Structure 1
């Protein structure tokens, strides 16, 4: 092949060249084989080696047929969240994961199933059109466990080879459908013995082009309406860009498509919540150029969002996610800050002031809460009353001053994944500690006052998450019965009634319980619901044993 021909081939989409390489000795080169084989492997279940059917994507980002899911088992020492879909689990069948996945997290992958359906339909349709073609391909399958395409030439005599009708893609697909091509097996094509022609290769390429066109509309995120970037599939089976899902969870704990509740806002980084690997590979094969452009666009957006000092910081008080904060704005510097926030995305950061030991230290704590303005009332003299709601937590990584008020760069603080939340509880709770928690739990002891009949402190680490929640709710009920001043109708009208959701309760209790701010500040640095409940329960123990 001449240099000009090489340049022409290099400019074509990959699937326009795989059937047209020049004749060579057996076997063909790996780079000539990889396209057809890797495309078929992309559609194979890693467990049964057949075409993925009713594909399920696990929390670890890997996909398999629903029928290939391992048997379910009851999950031990899991009390939060204790929904029916989380009480049963499956052991991940992929050796490099091996985690215990909740059945509720193993949902059918809507987008992947649609993409596979388009590809299968087009291959079947075009294969029928060329059913009477004389084109055949001699294909060899390496059945060795550790075989690779480079080694096929040395093992030619040991390989199982056969002549099948069709081109490379068609014959490789047929072997997969017949169950004769393991997921990890490699193949080679005998170009000298095969009876191929460019016309049949054109038909295969046409089927791939049809798949590319038909499936493209399925690959747009329903939040940003652009090609998926780092696709993340939720437990309900819907897929979004990682950054889009994170922004969505800032406002709501529900799936933007089906409105199913997403139990915990995960950290959403690649280690804790891997991307959908099969869908990522599918996009990279069929829309590689567009994906490159999409990546450049994403990086440009991130650069604009995380420029120097792009978030204003209000150094005033403690605020918590999902809780309201009311502010009286009267200082000129903060009037300007709030006006700019209202003209923009209506967000700013709230941080707790602190006494700096010297001028090099910040005069506020590094952890804070991102607030969004929900209502504002302005007075004729320039003052204003604003109502905000907590969105998420952050850590200030760098700060400065703009027009008299603090600004900074921040990094978001999120909870660990729901899987890790459950694993943490299961690890902390043993049968012995659970028994101690149930027999010595303060919820079983009648307290008539804070002074007399005081129970011994419970073993908070040994209590289940559900038991911690019951302990805290019992405390609120006792305080309500005593008509304590911090639990009045006025307070509940502001912060709401006592929530039964363990994910929301710590923020609610911290908003109304009169404990020291530095104690409440500890909640902002936590990464799990269980840790926050233990902090709240430690407040309760001290409240009932000593005066704050």
Structure 2
């Protein structure tokens, strides 16, 4: 917009104050943006009227609930396998906003409580204002005609109101387009913005834009699934202690996506437009606080030993003096957490760590059970919570303390988009053809990958596989029905090398982890065949040993019986009377 245009209000006593100045005193507040830019923040993109029952979208935008685009059945989506995720729509911001994926799931949309309240504030202050001025103004703008896609010039006239109130009134009547550009004002009489109305609006808005966690102006606003809006940093802090909303106590499902979830663009825009200086100051303070606290929060003692995976238990016997000390310190800490990481046995380069003693990725574990023994050793049961990447480390009292960065999964929306793209692009490959096997694997849906792994485990369990004995299932739990937990459980119980299981830790999607069981299955078949051959050999050797020992024992018993029985005396046949002839009769 050309603010030097003769159609734009000038800075004399009979016109609106310059809109590019931001006086700090409350008594002399003026807008740093044109009135139409302020009103646009609460306008609907589709109907151009103030938002009615605003619906938040996964891309961070908002639309009237009644203006939601037509809903269609989504295809190529199998994970998560919820019925409410099978309905979607094409977003109005497709191709306009780079944060918009184009298609959204209806289940990912929801009410925006704060935005609805702010729209009400606009109505209370601007819509119900009784302020009247002499004359009026005419606003001219260019807009795209939706039927033809051509730019056309439009105009509207407002009488008896200031600029901000007038633009709001035009928007309320559907006479000012959301996408208006090259906006010009033609003033009629002494039209200016009433600073009292502006101050009243800003005062009412400021009281609503405080975070309910830190009680300060919201920074980087994030709207949760329940519809409440907080600072992103406050949501992260909440999720470290609880998964419930601090306002309504509903369960929050943003743990793995809280760092990548788009900000609420309407709330952020209102803060930047109405309170630019306060917002900048608050953002700077939060950044400094984050720099100070992140160093403590991202430092974690590292136990270089065995592999631990998220959601599954690991059983530890702590006997080394250095790790005894570490465990005592962990148990004195508030969260009872430390990092599990495996040694770098192959001496491979680990990114910025170089050829470190341990691998670059690990798992944050929390102590579930701690049993100290009289001699200083301890038995510990831990459960994996999240994954991390080691950025650096220091050696303290014999063990490593790592500077870590959390590894998060991509959002469910991105997960679904990836599945849809792969299955649609790679469908039709012949899995029997060796050259197409890898592509056929990519063409399988996420649910099919999960079913392959789960069916294999059930088959092995029915055949009495040694790695699925009752004691194993008692320790790690039964076969999970949750596709998100299954890869971690499967890798934990499968008897393969830790280095093979380690490849799961850097993955950022359920679909990527779903590919691993196919590899594990082929490996486990080889392992199973090897174990079967080994058992046959052991059984054969044992049988031979038993038969040899049995024969030796039988021979020894026969000798002993012969030694105990008396030997018979030797006689001639005549003496024994065996050859006597019968006596003949005398004649």
1:475 to 449, 456, 479: 456
Structure 2 match to 1:10? 23
CA positional deviation for 1:389:
1.9
Contact kept, 8 Å, 1:134 with 1:195, in 2: the verdict is: yes
Matched, 1:46 2:45: yes
CA deviation map 1:360-400 (0-9, x unaligned) = 72111111011122332223332222332212111112122
CA positional deviation for 1:343:
2.8
Structure 1 match to 2:497? 516
Structure 2 match to 1:175? 170
Q: How many residues align?
A: 492
CA positional deviation for 1:145:
5.4
Please show how residues 482-497 of structure 1 align to structure 2 within 5 Å.
482-497=463-478
In structure 2, distance between residues paired with 1:403 and 1:475: 46
In structure 1, distance between residues paired with 2:376 and 2:240: 31
Structure 2 match to 1:150? none
Over alpha carbons, which structure has the higher Rg?
A: 2
Please show how residues 259-278 of structure 1 align to structure 2 within 5 Å.
259-260=250-251, 262=253, 265-266=256-257, 268-269=259-260, 273-278=261-266
Structure 2 match to 1:279? 267
Gaps of 5+ in 2: 1-10, 146-152, 531-587
CA positional deviation for 1:413:
1.2
Please show how residues 93-492 of structure 1 align to structure 2 within 5 Å.
93-94=92-93, 95-96=95-96, 97=100, 99-125=102-128, 127-128=129-130, 130=131, 133-143=132-142, 160=155, 162-185=157-180, 187-190=183-186, 193-196=188-191, 200-213=194-207, 215-216=208-209, 219-222=210-213, 224=214, 226-246=216-236, 248=238, 257=248, 259-260=250-251, 262=253, 265-266=256-257, 268-269=259-260, 273-307=261-295, 310-344=299-333, 345-355=335-345, 357=347, 361-430=355-424, 433=427, 459-492=440-473
CA deviation map 1:493-523 (0-9, x unaligned) = 3322211111011111111111111110011
Contact kept, 8 Å, 2:211 with 2:217, in 1: the verdict is: yes
- TM norm structure 1: 0.80
- CA change 1:98–1:312 in 2 (3 A) is closer
Contact kept, 8 Å, 1:233 with 1:275, in 2: the verdict is: yes
In structure 2, distance between residues paired with 1:468 and 1:408: 35
In structure 2, distance between residues paired with 1:478 and 1:500: 15
Please show how residues 56-67 of structure 1 align to structure 2 within 5 Å.
56-67=55-66
- CA change 1:395–1:432 in 2 (3 A) is closer
CA positional deviation for 1:458:
11
In structure 2, distance between residues paired with 1:298 and 1:9: 23
Give the match's secondary structure for 1:48: coil
In structure 2, distance between residues paired with 1:76 and 1:65: 26
Contact kept, 8 Å, 2:226 with 2:252, in 1: the verdict is: no
Please, what is the CA RMSD of the aligned residues? 3.5
In structure 2, distance between residues paired with 1:66 and 1:268: 27
2:484 to 500, 503, 507: 503
Higher relative contact order (CA 8 A, sep 6+): 1
CA deviation map 1:184-231 (0-9, x unaligned) = 32544455x333478x54244324323333x24xx4155x55443212
Give the match's secondary structure for 1:392: strand
In structure 1, distance between residues paired with 2:439 and 2:184: 67
Give the match's secondary structure for 1:365: coil
In structure 2, distance between residues paired with 1:422 and 1:281: 29
Contact kept, 8 Å, 1:221 with 1:227, in 2: the verdict is: no
Gaps of 5+ in 1: 19-30, 147-157, 441-455
